[in-house]
């Protein structure tokens, strides 16, 4: 019985973690821009690229992470290193800037 309880607790935690961070649906983006809840992607991309001169963007994603909209940018710098940069999607403030290993 104890093993079953552990199994249910693990499943609940996994589901909660999945719900805590979810991709924002593309059809919601125009409304978020209109309401001023996010900054334009051009501005966010420029702020991310400013962190690593000469870098190119490989992928971007808008996530709702624990009730905060976060713009995630994966890029490669001029030396070929990969970086993950996370920005507050509303303010453009850098939340994370780490080398992808």
Q: CATH number for 22-99: choose from 3.10.450.40, 1.20.1050.10, 3.40.50.720, 3.40.1110.10.
A: 3.10.450.40
Distance between CA atoms of 67 and 30, rounded to whole angstroms? Answer: 18
Dihedrals phi, psi of 11, to nearest 5 degrees: -65, -40
Instruction: Tell me the whole-structure pTM to 2 decimals.
Output: 0.77
Distance between CA atoms of 22 and 18, rounded to whole angstroms? Answer: 7
State residue 66's pLDDT score.
Answer: 80
Instruction: Select from 101, 99, 93, 100 the least CA-distant residue to 71.
Output: 93
- If one compares 20 and 95, the residue with the highest pLDDT of the two is 95
* Whether pLDDT at 67 is above 90: no
Q: How does pLDDT run across 70-85, given as a tens digit for each residue?
A: 999 999 999 999 999 9
Q: How does DSSP classify residue 39?
A: -
Which residues are within 8 A (CB) of 46 and not within 5 positions of it... i.e. 6 or more apart?
none
Q: How does pLDDT run across 13-55, given as a tens digit for each residue?
A: 333 333 345 899 999 999 999 999 999 999 999 999 999 999 9
State residue 21's pLDDT score.
Answer: 58
How is the chain split into domains, by residue range?
Answer: 22-99
Alpha helices in 40-98 (DSSP H): 41-49
């Amino acid at each position: 019985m104890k093993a079953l309880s552990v199994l249910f607790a693990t499943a609940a935690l996994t589901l909660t973690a999945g719900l805590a961070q979810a991709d924002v649906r593309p059809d919601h983006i125009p409304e978020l821009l209109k309401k001023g809840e996010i900054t334009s992607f051009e501005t966010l991309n420029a702020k991310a690229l400013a962190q690593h001169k000469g870098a190119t963007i490989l992928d971007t994603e808008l996530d709702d992470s624990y009730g905060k909209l976060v713009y995630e940018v994966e890029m490669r710098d001029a030396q070929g290193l990969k970086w993950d940069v996370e920005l507050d999607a509303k303010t453009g403030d850098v939340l994370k800037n780490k080398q992808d290993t």
